[in-house]
Amino acid sequence: MDLSLGAAELTAALIDFPSVSGEEKPLADAIEQALRALPRLTVDRYGNNVIARTFFGKAKRIVLAGHIDTVPIADNVPSTLKGDLLYGCGASDMKSGVAVQLKVAAAAGAADGPEPVHDLTFVFYDCEEVESARNGLGHVAAAHPDWLTGDFALLLEPTEGVLEGGCQGTLRARISTTGRRAHSARSWLGQNAIHRAAPILAGLADYQAREVEVDGLLFHEGLNAVGISGGVAGNVIPDECSVVVNFRFAPDRTEQQAAEHVREVFSGAEFEGCAIEIVDSAPAARPGLDLPEAASFAALIAAPPRAKYGWTDVARLSGLGIPSVNYGPGDPNLAHTRDEYASVTKIREAERLLLAWLELA
């Protein structure tokens, strides 16, 4: 891992270093080795998570975090450069962000460079693209919370170079109906559980999503069916059916309030007999743009801040008491696609802005 490369070239090297979720060890090894060579960084490791910190005695500490895993490769490794666009698995989500992190770490950790205006913590973590129980940031927070202390955090998730405050919460619920089995040739002897799910689908189709302003940013909620299951055989009236719904909620709601809202939506007489089970949920995060650190960084970016649509680990960081925002050079609309790419111009711009913000350039 050659940290003397430019940020765009380092992104290409990271893409060429496969690190699908669960297979991050070789990349974590390379990142750890590169960071340990920097004399002004203290480096710790837990599993495939690498944490590097400066200790200059500054009044405040900023956390820069990014995940090193990607979704499965789709014939898009090694990287390919076409004009200003760098193609490859994870180019946008989020090896371009990790490359910028590494460049800032190299500047902060070099023996002969300027000191940053704040102390810095760099977190490179695994298994973000899979179920929450495997998330490396969560594992570090549980085992070594002292490694993650800070006054403000920047998560380098793809935002296309725009500062995105907070994030939506997410909740999944399973809404089930029951019926009575019968032979389909004598359907009047049974009760069709799939038919009884019709009010659930109608309620979702008619649902009016709320838009709400939180700390100056507009969040748009959404309640949608994301799965449906039912049926026994081609000649059987089904006695069970379930619809899985996903509620993306604004950060003015708690997880409990989000669950109560879903139950309220499906509380009418037409839903009598429906069972609602909350399958999983994750909290939203408020924008945190009122902090001086956020304001000073936002002032360097031409585009105004916007709300983060989707869930990111800013919620996890905020839960640790660290106000957090999202900022990265990748385009979130390209994440996980076969033709994923990142703009070389935006990668270099992100590096320039972060170094200027931290007074490392």
Show which residues are catalytic.
69, 128
Amino acid at 226: V
Phi then psi for residue 101, to 5 deg, are -55, -45
Structure tokens at 256: 């409990």
Q: Check: CB of residue 12 under 8 Å from CB of residue 81.
A: yes
**Closest by Cα among 310, 325, 207 to 249:** 310
Per-residue buried b or exposed e for 274-284, using 16+ beta carbons within 10 Å of the residue's own CB = bebebeebbbb
Indicate the SS3 state at residue 352. helix
Tell me how far apart the alpha carbons of residues 20 and 232 are, in angstroms, rounded to a whole number.
Answer: 37
Run of H or E including 163? none
Tell me how far apart the alpha carbons of residues 328 and 331 are, in angstroms, rounded to a whole number.
Answer: 8
Q: Check: CB of residue 50 under 8 Å from CB of residue 98.
A: no
**Closest by Cα among 22, 99, 45, 57 to 343:** 99
Query: Omega before 94 cis (within 30°)?
Result: yes
Q: Check: CB of residue 199 under 8 Å from CB of residue 175.
A: no
